[in-house]
Amino acid sequence: MSTAAFPQSVSDRSTARPQVDAFFDKRTCSVQYIVSDPATGRCALIDPVLDYDEKSGSVATTSADALLARVKEQGLTVEWILDTHPHADHLSASGYLKDRTGAKTAIGERIVDVQRLWKEIYNLGGFEADGSQWDCLFADGDDFQIGNMDVRVVFSPGHTLASIAYVVGDAAFIHDTLFMPDFGTARCDFPGGDARALWRTIQRILSLPSDTRLFSGHDYMPGGRAPAWESTVAGQKAQNIHLVQARTEDDFVAMRQARDAKLPMPKLILHALQVNMVGGRLPAPESNGTRYLKIPLDTLPYAVWD
């Protein structure tokens, strides 16, 4: 995928300072966020998790309900449910939360490319790959509001071809691009991933002011430390282990591709994508009242085994 067309700097930002509440999901090492406007009590939920146990096939809403409990506790009003990308490591709770709150759902406009790709993988002949499962599809540079706060959309491919980040005042929600500095950067070997695109995305993120708060989508707790998810542009530039190791685009691509070639696929990738590419909606019940996930066999033939 070519990334030459998208802008290379997002250095400006608004002066707002949103309230950010993070919820770490130990099962998937994912981080869900509530970002709220202190002046109006309006908020957005970012990358919510639908709990899923692949061993039993059980689904639960404990993680998403924790978001709703905090919203109620703080007297907030949910305006948006925002996905940064179609996740490969957890099921999205966007659909469930829309039903509970009535808030608008959104994701990046390139989700249609992911839908077309995975429609073929799952052999979903009649599936509408048009993004209509969300209320809004955002393009690079789009603006919207959470309460009185301006939010800017930043196209941020690499980990997936549809990824976007959200810049809200002094905070940027950067999903699977940069993790905490002691863990590095995201993998790019999923269908549609691109290490060169990720390098250019990272340069865009690092063009934000140095004190910008960066909120990552996962934390894998290297060395057994406690979970963490917030860094800054300055901290990432100085300390990110992959960026310190690979100072040029070509070096980064070589490093990332070598690492990715050794990584097994996320355990939930085939479970999750069929749910996440339709806005977090589970398959419809069949004639016996039971829902079924569809797992294509041997569709990722070069995947590394554990």
Lookup: tokens for 64:
């998403």
Question: What pLDDT, on a 0 to 100 scale, did the predictor assign at position 9?
Answer: 66
pLDDT tens, per residue, the chain with 306 residues: 333 344 556 776 677 899 999 999 999 999 999 999 999 999 999 999 999 999 999 999 999 999 999 999 999 999 999 999 999 999 999 999 999 999 999 999 999 999 999 999 999 988 999 999 999 999 999 999 999 999 999 999 999 999 999 999 999 999 999 999 999 999 999 888 999 999 999 999 999 999 999 999 999 999 999 999 999 999 999 999 999 999 999 999 999 999 999 999 999 999 999 999 999 999 999 999 999 999 999 998 888 998
pLDDT confidence of residue 8: 55
**Is position 286 within any domain?**
no
The pLDDT of residue 126 is 87
- Four-point Cα dihedral 9, 13, 19, 24, nearest 10: 0
Note whether residue 150 is domain-resident.
yes
Residue 1 domain-assigned?
no
Q: What is the pLDDT of residue 1?
A: 33
Helix %, strand %, coil % of the chain (to 5): 25, 25, 50
Specify if 242 maps to a domain: yes
User: How many structural domains comprise the chain?
Assistant: 1
The domain that holds 252 is classified in CATH as: 3.60.15.10
Question: Residue 239 falls within a domain, yes or no?
Answer: yes
Q: Is the separation of the CB atoms in 177 and 201 below 8 Å?
A: yes
* Structural domain range at position 135: 19-275
Judge whether 112 and 82 are in contact, CB under 8 Å.
Answer: no
What does the pLDDT read at residue 45? 98
Q: Please, are residues 174 and 210 in contact by the beta-carbon 8 Å criterion?
A: no
Q: Token pair for residue 80? A: 């948006």
Q: What 3-state class would DSSP assign to 179?
A: coil
DSSP state of 226: P
Separation of alpha carbons 57 and 118, rounded Å: 21
Nearest-angstrom CA–CA distance, 20 and 7: 27
**Cβ partners under 8 Å of residue 299, min gap 6:** 121, 270
Q: Which residue has the tokens 């067309």?
A: 5
In a domain, 298, yes or no: no
Judge whether 246 lies within some domain. yes
Tell whether 183 is covered by a domain.
yes
